Amino acid sequence: MTGKETNNVEDISVEKFDKLSIQVGLNGLSFCVLDTIGKKIICADRLAFEKSLAPKELQENLKLLLEKHQLTTKGFSEVVVVHNNGLFSFVPKSLFNVDELANYLKFNTKILANDLIAHDTLESYDLVNVYVPFVNINNYIFDLFGEFEYKHNGTVLVQTLLNTPSTTKEPVCYVHIGENQIEITVISQKKLLLYNSFIFHTKEDFIYYLLFTMEQLQLDLETTKLKLFGSIEEGDPMYDLCYQYVKDVTIFTPSIAAYPNATADNASLDFTLLSAL
């Protein structure tokens, strides 16, 4: 988020090299603090909600989470906020017009006349992600820390997966499992075929969205590589259910090249948080 306004946060000393990454969604919150010198996570936590919250309740819970870890009075070299919601649409850069932001969203999501609409550009892949951020969260973070960067979680996920080395010429279907949410990304030879997110409550919901997506893209269940990651591991009910329908199913372990020591086993650590830094 740009701007030159100042606030009451103390100036960051030259010794301060910690980065704060926060992910906010109506189904949950998470954050991590990264020591960029040692490239290690020094603090992380997550909070899952039993039901989707309103944006005001989301802000209240974020405030409590940051205060719990005494982060509201600290300075950081960088702060990144990742907005996790379904209010987005990917647009080819060749078709993008900054004056038409609302038109990109109005056919696949409900927006209000006074909604702020932002966009992220994936320069290397000629894609633009148009989305609605949580404005109250941005205002709260700015009041705490001053200038910061924000982006949509779809931007982070898609860009990271597009950067992932692949030797296959066949499409690869990546499925990230979070708090009652799955994000499906299909990539073929460094090109994005689809990115979408779905809210699910049962494993039957999960497999329905997955198989429907694969059917719409005409992906062969015998040859398409299905890579699952996030809150899932081999032997989980959803993993076993996938294996009933798709022949090539594996657990995907994303590599965060910039922070190889930051991928330690931590239940509070979310792939998107690290990738956003």
Can you give the CATH number for the domain in which 176 is found? Answer: 3.30.420.260
User: Tens of pLDDT along 118-160?
Assistant: 999 998 899 999 999 999 999 999 999 999 999 999 999 999 9
Residues 60 and 152 in one domain: yes
Residues 148 and 264 in one domain: yes
Residues 173 and 266 in one domain: no
Residues 261 and 208 in one domain: no
Per-residue pLDDT averaged across 83-98, rounded? 95
The answer as to whether 263 is a domain residue is yes
9: confidence class by pLDDT, cuts 50, 70, 90: very low
Per-residue pLDDT averaged across 21-30, rounded? 92
Residues in the chain, overall count: 277
5: confidence class by pLDDT, cuts 50, 70, 90: very low
Residue 74 tokens read as 């600290």
The answer as to whether 12 is a domain residue is no
d(CA 113, CA 223): 45
Domain extent for 80 = 18-85+134-159+256-275
So what's the pLDDT on residue 180? 85
- Check whether 6 has a pLDDT greater than 70: no
So what's the pLDDT on residue 3? 33
7: confidence class by pLDDT, cuts 50, 70, 90: very low
Residues 182 and 69 in one domain: no
User: Tens of pLDDT along 216-264?
Assistant: 999 999 999 999 998 898 989 999 999 999 999 999 987 665 555 555 4
The answer as to whether 111 is a domain residue is no
So what's the pLDDT on residue 269? 60
Residue 179 tokens read as 């708090």
The answer as to whether 202 is a domain residue is yes
Work out the number of other CB atoms within 10 angstroms of the CB of residue 133: 22
Three-state SS annotation for the chain: CCCCCCCCCCCCCCCCCEEEEEEEECCEEEEEEEECCCCEEEEEEEEECCCCCCHHHHHHHHHHHHHHCCCCCCCCCEEEEEEECCCEEEEEHHHCCHHHHHHHHCCCCCCCCCCCCEEEEEHHHCEEEEECCCHHHHHHHHHHHCCCEEEEHHHHHHHHHHCCCCCCCCCEEEEEECCCEEEEEEEECCEEEEEEEEECCCHHHHHHHHHHHHHHCCCCCCCCEEEEEECCCCCCHHHHHHHHHCCEEEECCCCCCCCHHHCCCCCCCCHHHHHCC
Q: For residue 226, which of 166, 159, 171, 164 has the smallest C-alpha distance?
A: 171
d(CA 72, CA 65): 10
User: pLDDT higher for 264 or 85?
Assistant: 85
d(CA 3, CA 23): 21
Residues 52 and 147 in one domain: yes
CATH number of the domain within which 145 lies: 3.30.420.40
| 8 Å CB contact between 48 and 59 | no
Average pLDDT, the chain: 87
In this structure, of 14-18, 21-25, 197-201, 228-232, the range with the lowest mean pLDDT score is 14-18
Highest mean pLDDT pick, 107-111, 196-200, 266-270: 196-200
Contacts from 33-37 at CB under 8 Å and sequence distance 24+? 33/71, 33/76, 34/259, 34/262, 34/274, 34/277, 36/77
Residues 241 and 218 in one domain: yes
| Domains of the chain: total | 2
Residues 51 and 181 in one domain: no
Per-residue pLDDT averaged across 54-81, rounded? 94
Residues 268 and 222 in one domain: no
| 8 Å CB contact between 166 and 187 | yes
Residues 146 and 226 in one domain: no
8: confidence class by pLDDT, cuts 50, 70, 90: very low
User: Tens of pLDDT along 149-193?
Assistant: 999 999 999 999 999 888 888 899 999 998 789 999 999 999 999
- Check whether 106 has a pLDDT greater than 80: yes
So what's the pLDDT on residue 259? 53
CA 12 to chain centre: 27
